[in-house]
Amino acid sequence: MGVQGLTGFVEERGVFFTELRVRDTKLVIDGSSLYHRLCFAPDADFRRGGDYGAFAAAVRDFFGVLRACGIAPFVVLDGGRGAEDRKLPTLRGRAAEQLRAAHGLSRGAGGCLVPLLTREAFVQALGRLGVPFVQCFAEADREIAGLANRWGCPVLSLDSDFFVFDLTGGYCPLSHFQWQSVRAGPQGCYVPARCFSAERFCGHFGHLSKGLLPLFAVMNGNDYIGLEALEAFFSKVRLPRGYAAGKGGKHLRLQGLLSWLAQFAEPAEAVDSVLKCLKKHQREEIRELLCTSMEDYAPSDVNLEDFFQNGSYECEAARKADVPEWVLDAFTKGKLAPLIINALILRSTFLRVQVENMQRPSAHSTALPIRQVIYGLLLRVSHSTEDASSRKQTNELPNVCEFDRCQKTVKKTFVQAASLPPDFCDDRFPLDKLMEVPLSCRQMLLLETLGVKMSFLEPIPSHLQLPIAVTCYWIRCSEPKVKLNQLKALLLMIVSGELQRIIGDPDPTVRPAEDDSVAYNEFLKWKDKKLQNNDFDLDAAHSFCQWQCCLQMGLYLNQLLGTPLSEPDLSSRLYTGTLVHRLYQELKSAPPVENLFILSPRMSQLYLVLLNTVES
């Protein structure tokens, strides 16, 4: 969520914070805010599709600092959009903003855009580091507030809604959490931070009750409610501090609203006063809207302490939505993506834009057949139901609404779910019994969707089988066709990731060969050389975006089928955008770069195996 203009207002004044030394405490972390913050590093490259290894290293450094300061982190991630889908207009607006940012980056302008697989890399990094985390059924704010209050510890986020929640342990904005400037004290090291003081904030506006802050947030406008419904109120009421309708900025109205609310003892009294400014036929509807929206700032009844202690996630909204138990369990543990839950409950998904060629069809269109199989698995209905029999008669399959880029706008299209093989249409195996389908059948569905046979993948290390199967699919389905140098650059990048993994995170039972170390040092020397041609090739970028889209949906389908292939580790430099673009440029001008790893027989052999597999 987010309250319009509130962060800017609070930051400008600075008097609403207290200094805090964070050490030896539990800390509830808003996962979505954290991965955005770490992703937007000052030296990050947003044009070339993301450097997930560097991002994972930043995640590792962050949690290393917390551990050194005795801080026990608990990460809480947003989940799906929720059964009511109340944020749909806001999400469409954000998708349009992201599209504008992507278009600017494609033309050489500045800006930031979260790379496509950042969230997946973050979840994998948390798992590798052993950081406790949960993915909520829907938006996480209320569950974060509930857990922090249960433990009496601070919340770490960048979401202005936490200025509004009544938090016993306080709210530390990530922008004031100086984890890169750890200091030593007599009781050990600590992270210097600033904690928002709701008491100071309310005191600034006379005797404003903290209980009125949720009404303020709703009236000022947040992700769930806009100002349009209340314009009649703002045009009629006399707000203090010199506010006049149509004059001044957001902060003037915001201050005036807070000062006006300070005259009331409780929200109900203030709501009655608001309604008097509206037409009689609007009043009950607006009362309902205000009261429902204020509930968004009440801590959730989901007990996340239970989840972190024994893995139990009890959620009434998920029960009402009829989510199968195994799906909810996998989802809360981050083993299924939000796209899965949104497609299942809402039959609607957003496909995130990348820095691609806006004149061409969306990069996501390449992965459409994979998504259709995902939708087919999620939405198939038992043949015994009336709905299914009527569909059978008309040969209809369920549709899913996809929000995706079309040229330079976000448009929705309806995509038909795929018809599944007989094993998956058996009435004995509805979605809640999908894991009872034999593993061999689930693997076969995955491989058939990607158009490869297991016999082709057998020479390849197990953790690379899915990325290479996806690469085969990408070669076959991309339009325009993938160029040979694009393929070679991608495979060399994968091999470089393997080499760095062997050297930087070695298997304790196997010593790296000396020639691997020599090859790695030569690779680092090559990377340090100044690139002769650092031009940005938009067509190559579009092709690599298509590969990431295919990998993302290949990951999702593999997860939904219970991982019949090993899940690849994004945090071990499986994809490094700056590197793959550089390799592509050099392959065009200096083909010998294909022999970059020739000093390591093992890496040279791996490259040839990958190339032969894909070309075959």
Q: What is the pLDDT of residues 87-101, one digit of tens each?
A: 999 999 999 999 999
Residue 272 has pLDDT above 90, yes or no: yes
* Structure token digits, residue 487: 């393929």
For 355-372, what is each residue's pLDDT tens digit? 999 999 999 999 999 999
Contact at 8 Å (CB) between 417 and 376?
Answer: yes
3-state class of 520 per DSSP?
Answer: helix
In the chain, count H helices and then E strands. 27, 11
DSSP β-ladder status, 26-30 and 155-157: parallel
Q: How far is residue 417's CA from residue 381's CA, in Å, rounded to a whole number? A: 12
What is the pLDDT averaged over residues 390-401?
70
- Within 10 angstroms of residue 289's Cβ, the number of other Cβ atoms is 16
Q: How far is residue 249's CA from residue 101's CA, in Å, rounded to a whole number? A: 25
Q: 195 or 616, which is more confident? A: 195
Residue 195, phi then psi, degrees to nearest 5? -115, 130
Q: Which amino acid is at 373?
A: V
3-state class of 227 per DSSP?
Answer: coil
8, 282, 340: which is closest to 158 by C-alpha? 8
* Structure token digits, residue 538: 């938009």
Q: How far is residue 47's CA from residue 292's CA, in Å, rounded to a whole number? A: 41
Contact at 8 Å (CB) between 141 and 159?
Answer: yes
Return the pLDDT at 506. Answer: 65
Half-sphere exposure of 281 (CA within 13 A, CB side): 0
- In this structure, of 3-7, 563-567, 583-587, the range with the lowest mean pLDDT score is 3-7
Q: How far is residue 571's CA from residue 389's CA, in Å, rounded to a whole number? A: 46
* HEC string for 589-607: HCHHHHHCCCCCHHHHHHH
Return the pLDDT at 248. Answer: 46
Q: 12 or 332, which is more confident? A: 332
Residue 428 has pLDDT above 80, yes or no: no
Rg (CA), the chain: 26
Detail the DSSP E strand segments found in 109-177.
133-135, 155-157, 171-173
For 299-320, what is each residue's pLDDT tens digit? 888 999 999 999 999 999 999 9
The set of residues, in sequence order, having a beta carbon less than 8 Å from that of 69 and lying 6+ positions away, is 22, 23, 24, 182, 188, 189, 190, 191
Q: How far is CA 505 from CA 180, 289, 498, in A?
A: 24, 54, 10
Say what the pTM is: 0.93
* Structure token digits, residue 5: 């203009």
Query: Quick one: pLDDT band at residue 77, thresholds 50, 70, 90?
Result: very high
Return the pLDDT at 249. Answer: 56
Residue 61 has pLDDT above 80, yes or no: yes
Return the pLDDT at 382. Answer: 43
Give the burial class of 458: count Cβ atoms within 10 A of its Cβ; 0-12 exposed, 13-18 middle, 19 or more buried. Answer: exposed
Residue 425 has pLDDT above 80, yes or no: no
Q: How far is residue 77's CA from residue 133's CA, in Å, rounded to a whole number? A: 8
Q: How far is CA 366 from CA 8, 357, 446, 545, in A?
A: 41, 14, 16, 10
Rounded to the nearest angstrom, the gap between the alpha carbon of residue 383 and the centroid of all alpha carbons in its chain is 35
**395-429 core/surface letters (b: 16 or more CB in 10 A; e: else):** eebbebebbbbeeeebeeeebebbeeeeebeeeeb
108, 118, 221, 230: which is closest to 164 by C-alpha? 221
Strand partners, 183: 190
6-296 CATH fold:
Rossmann fold (3.40.50)
Return the pLDDT at 36. Answer: 96
Query: Quick one: pLDDT band at residue 234, thresholds 50, 70, 90?
Result: confident
Q: How far is residue 587's CA from residue 582's CA, in Å, rounded to a whole number? A: 9
3-state class of 150 per DSSP?
Answer: helix
Contact at 8 Å (CB) between 22 and 177?
Answer: yes
Give the mean pLDDT of the chain: 91
Angle at 518 between CA 515 and CA 522, to 5 degrees: 135
* Structure token digits, residue 229: 């419904």
* Structure token digits, residue 344: 């299942």
Query: Quick one: pLDDT band at residue 396, thresholds 50, 70, 90?
Result: confident
What is the pLDDT averaged over residues 204-221?
90
Domains in the chain: boundaries: 6-296, 321-379+397-615
Residue 263 has pLDDT above 70, yes or no: yes
Query: Quick one: pLDDT band at residue 393, thresholds 50, 70, 90?
Result: very low
What is the torsional sign of CA 123, 127, 129, 130? Answer: positive
Q: Which amino acid is at 410?
A: V
Query: Quick one: pLDDT band at residue 532, thresholds 50, 70, 90?
Result: low
391-397 contacts, C-beta under 8 A, 24 or more apart: none
